[in-house]
Amino acid sequence: MPDDIERPQPPASPQTVAELLPYLPVSADYGRQWALVFGDELAERLAEVQAAHPTQHWARPVQLTDGRHMLCGDLLSEVPSGLYGVGFQHLDASRFDEISIVPWAEAVALLPQPDTLPE
C-alpha cells in the first residue's frame, strides 16, 4: 500500500470542533491558527472529565474578558490518541458543535492583561 496517499485537508474556515472530527489529529501548524472557545458549562465538564481521568497533560482553558473560555487549537494535534487523548475520549462528542473555532489572533485580543511590572 503506498504511503504517500494524501490525507483529506481540514476546512479552511471551520466553525466548530465537530467539523474537524474527521480530520483529527490535525497538524500542529493548522491547529495554531485557531482557538477553541466555549462557555462555562463545557469548561466545568472539561474539568470534571480531566479530574476523573488524571494524566500529566491537562487541557487548561483560560477565561477571556468576555467570560468565555479558550484553549489553543493546536491541542487538536494531540487527539484522539496523543498527549490529550485520555480526556478527549471521555468527552461527549455530541457537544463538540458547542465549541466554536475562532482565529487565534481574535482570541488573544480577548485575553486578560497581566499585571504590569513596577516602573
Partner 1 sequence: MSLAAKLPWTHRFAGGYGGIGSQPLPTDADAIDYLSRMATADGAGVETGVAVAVDAFFRGLKATPGLFDAIKASCILCGARTLNGALVPMAGAAPANNNFISDDYTRGGATPGLKGNGSNKRLSQANPATPLQNSAHQAIYLSANSAFAAPSEATHIAEWPTSGTAGRTQITTNTSQTFTRCRETTGSYLGSTSVGVIGISRSDPADYVRRVGQASETITETSTGTPEQVVYVFNNSSGSYSDARLAFYSIGESLDLEALDEAVSTLVTAIGAAV
Q: State yes or no: residue 116 binds partner 1 (CB under 8 A).
A: yes
CA dist., res. 109 & res. 35, Å (int): 11
Residues shown for the chain:
119
CA dist., res. 44 & res. 21, Å (int): 22
- Considering only residues 84-113, where is the footprint of partner 1 by CB under 8 A? 108, 111-113
CA dist., res. 8 & res. 29, Å (int): 16
Stretch that binds partner 1, among 10-18, 39-47, 77-85, 88-96 (CB under 8 A): 77-85
Q: Which residues pair with 103 in a beta bridge?
A: 34
Looking up cell 488573544 gives 108
Q: Which is nearer to partner 1, 22 or 118 (CB)?
A: 118
Q: State yes or no: residue 70 binds partner 1 (CB under 8 A).
A: yes
Minimal distance, residue 15 CB to partner 1, in Å: 21
Q: State yes or no: residue 72 binds partner 1 (CB under 8 A).
A: yes
Minimal distance, residue 2 CB to partner 1, in Å: 26
Half-sphere exposure of 28 (CA within 13 A, CB side): 3
Give the interface with partner 1 as residue ranges (CB under 8 A).
Answer: 28, 31, 56-62, 70-72, 74-75, 77-78, 82-83, 108, 111-118
